[in-house]
Amino acid sequence: MGLVTTTEMFKKAYSGGYAIGAFNVNNMEIVQGITEACAEEKAPVILQVSKGARAYANPVYLKKLVEAAVECYPDIPIALHLDHGPDFETCKSCVDGGFTSVMIDASSKPFEENIAITKQVVEYAHAHGVVVEAELGTLAGIEDDVKVSAEDSSYTRPEEVEEFVSRTGCDSLAIAIGTSHGAYKFKPGTKPQLRFDVLHECEKRIPGFPIVLHGSSSVPQEYVTMINTFGGAMPGAIGVPEDQLREAARSAVCKINIDSDLRLAMTGTIRKFFAEHPEKFDPREYLKPARANIKELVRHKLIDVLGCAGKA
Ligand code: G3H
Ligand code: 13P
Ligand code: ZN
């Protein structure tokens, strides 16, 4: 089926009451773990690449890895998306490089400036058949090299979404309702609560329009414990409760971003492997179980959190 845009995926997700998983990819094993799970579970998927991933792996390698997945799994829809595009030039480079979707993240800019930059990206992307995700509101946590404290984060203002969407022409909108980037989110003993009231207010003002949640890792305790048991020093954190994400996926939320959980699975598995096999040094031997655990974690997300298994 080749690479697809998210248009059709979101239409079906909206009416079907589920969300598409958007997983960050940085190397071959991550691409393989995610797409093997999606192929087995017959789930559409968004593979996304950040500015940091482009700098690490070289955009050409990432594009080719995703193309390899498309060739291996022709029966599932796969979109290639730029995550947190920082400026017009980066978005343009991805549009020119064959991405099917880009995010322009000008959410830290004033409203009018966010609109102007987003509109510029939309005009270029749409002229090339590429869709655009934009963002309103500010999430807490760490994304690329930007760190936002909880005090500096701010929920999306529902009264702004309609004007933003109609003036920019964007295709989906990331909103801030209490999720947070990174693997350190939410202190043990607290009760994270997404602001469903804000989500539903936004939904009401832009009916039928796909909403995106960033910062939606749930920090699996199994992997935090594994990392710490085998020499790591991860502070305790509890992530976004999965039942709340499942509830969000039933609403207008059509795309849920998960990155940190996959990193925890990979790191925990490799740490455990080395501790148990100090004599081993073949990367294939330690990357194989890491890839297998990413696959199982993605399978769990597709079935129990996103609800998109069987929707390809
Ligand atoms: O929100 C950011 C994503 O988790 C990507 O992280 O910038 O470290 O690649 P990264
Ligand atoms: P997490 O850090 O919660 O996995 O969020 C990922 C994300 O939003 C990527 O854009
Ligand atoms: Zn994000």
Say yes or no to pLDDT of 151 above 80.
no
Tokens of 283: 């990367």
146, β-bridge pairs: 143
Report if residue 311 sits inside a domain: no
Contacts of 265 (CB under 8 A, 6+ apart): 220, 223, 290, 293, 294, 297
Position 213 pLDDT exceeds 80: yes
Compute the average pLDDT of residues 209-225: 98
Among 66-75, 136-145, 196-205, 279-288, the minimum mean pLDDT is found in 136-145
* Residue 141 pLDDT: 83
Residue 68: which pLDDT band, with cuts at 50, 70 and 90?
very high
- Distance (angstroms) between ligand 1 centre and the Cα of 264 equals 13
Percent pLDDT > 70 in the chain is 100
Per the domain annotation, does 1 fall within a domain?
Answer: no
CA dihedral of 242, 215, 252, 157, whole degrees rounded to 10: 130
What letters, b where the CB count within 10 A reaches 16 and e where it falls short, cover 40-56? ebebbbbbbbbbebbee
Judge whether residue 27 has pLDDT over 80: yes
- Could you write out the DSSP letters of every residue in 216-233? -----HHHHHHHHHTT--
Domain with residue 115: its CATH number is: 3.20.20.70
Return the percent helix, strand and coil in the chain, to nearest 5: 50, 15, 35
Q: What is the mean pLDDT of residues 111-132?
A: 98
Identify which of 143, 146, 240 to mutate to test ligand 1's pocket (most ligand atoms within 8 A of the CB): 143
Q: Looking at residue 150, what is its pLDDT?
A: 74
Q: Which ligand lies nearest to the CA atom of residue 23 in the structure?
A: 2
pTM: 0.97
Residue 180, in any domain of the structure:
yes
Whether 234 is in a domain gets the answer: yes
CA–CA dist 65, 87 (Å, integer): 24
Q: Is residue 163 part of a domain?
A: yes
Residue 148's SS3 state is strand
pLDDT (0 to 100) of residue 163: 98
Residue 74 in any domain: the answer is: yes
The answer to whether 50 and 86 are in contact (CB under 8 A) is no
Q: Is the pLDDT of residue 145 over 80?
A: no
**Is the CA virtual torsion 27, 47, 22, 39 positive or negative?**
negative
Q: What is the pLDDT of residue 148?
A: 80
pLDDT, position 247: 98
Whole-number Å distance, alpha carbon 239 to ligand 2 midpoint, is: 11
- Residue 298 lies in domain: 7-306
Q: Which atom of ligand 1 lies at the shortest distance from residue 50's CA?
A: 9
Q: Give DSSP secondary structure letters for 88-125.
A: HHHHHHHHHTT-SEEEE--TTS-HHHHHHHHHHHHHHH
Residue holding tokens 């934009």?
A: 134
Domain count, the chain: 1
pLDDT at 76 over 80: yes
Q: Is residue 135 part of a domain?
A: yes
- At residue 147, the 3 state secondary structure works out as strand
H/E stretch holding 302 reads: none
Which of 20, 23, 24 has most ligand 2 atoms within 8 Å of its beta carbon, as the pocket-test mutant? 24
Asked if the model's pLDDT at residue 281 lies above 80, the reply is yes
Report DSSP state, residue 45: E
Q: Point out the ligand 2 atom lying closest to the alpha carbon of residue 260.
A: 4
Is 116 inside a domain boundary? yes
Name the average pLDDT for the chain: 97
Q: Which residues are catalytic?
A: 83
